[in-house]
Amino acid sequence: GWKSRRTDALLKTFADVGPDALIVETFPFGRRKFRFELAPLLDLATRTRPRPLIASSVRDILVAKTDPGKVAEMAAMARRWFDLVLVHGDPALIRFEASFPLADRIADLIRYTGYVSPPRATAAAPDGVGAVIVSVGGGAVGEALLRAAVAARPATVLADVPWRLLAGPDLPHPVFDDLRRMAPAGVVVEPARPDFAGLLARCRLSISQAGYNTVIDVLAAGCPAVLVPFAAGGETEQRDRAALLAARGLAQVVDEATLSPASLAAAVDGAIRLPRRAPAIRLDGAETTARLVLEAARRDR
């Protein structure tokens, strides 16, 4: 009954709005649990006259699928329903076929938008200059990395450098309080900051997971980086993104399964030898997406 009510509400909204463009996040390349409502929506959209532009919006890396049949089904659904597949990445860094092996079947639908990144901060700030910045995104799964960073610091070549640990809003409060209590002199534990990109621009080294937004901020800053990709529950997106960046000499990687103070310290010492450089990648994904959708919708109309 709940699924039926959701589907009815979604179809009614589509009919009431009469959109010129319909953009679906990730599906059919993921979000299969929402197929019960998305398939009827897409069927309705393809029957509607005038027909709206239909686009799928995906990140640079997909979660790997072990069933070849599901991969083939994704390609078939893309051909059945979609006019565009908007890949929010840059093929100069990561190509879509790196995580979707049947990309050639939908090559005419694929448009690379560049990475979706906020404007870069230009104003200098007094804190964080030359520091090691340890971040865990929202923080819900970041406790192990934060604790390993505190323990690893004395064993690194950056033991005398200030370290700033950004906890994230979803880190449990008792864990945050405990980290603050155990932090030695030279280690600051604080909530995640809105000027994160600015901190990276003036830091000595970044230690983080390998989520889309964090990696884009790290790449834009051009700072040496250690990536500890989240990999629990069969997730492969962060692992694959980190591996591709490491292969290009843009980061050192520590497997989450082998994370320890010793393994993190070794990665820090390796990363600090990496050159500080911002790769030439496109970061205008929001503007390019808007332009591509508007141009295609107007052309179809």
Question: Looking at the chain, which runs of residues are DSSP E strands?
Answer: 21-25, 53-59, 84-88, 110-112, 132-135, 163-166, 187-190, 205-208, 225-227, 252-253
* Confidence band for 126, pLDDT divided at 50, 70 and 90: confident
Task: Answer whether residue 181 shows pLDDT above 90.
Answer: yes
Contacts of 279 (CB under 8 A, 6+ apart): 92, 93, 219, 222, 248, 250
Q: What is the reported pLDDT for 190?
A: 96
* The predicted structure's pLDDT at residue 57: 98
pLDDT band at 1 (very low <50, low <70, confident <90, very high): very high
Average per-residue pLDDT in the chain?
94
Sequence-distant (≥ 6) Cβ neighbours of residue 155 within 8 angstroms: 261, 262, 265
pLDDT band at 64 (very low <50, low <70, confident <90, very high): confident
At 201-211, the pLDDT tens digits run 999 999 999 99
What pLDDT is stored for residue 125 in this prediction? 61
Predicted structure pTM score: 0.90
Distance CA 92, CA 59 (A): 15
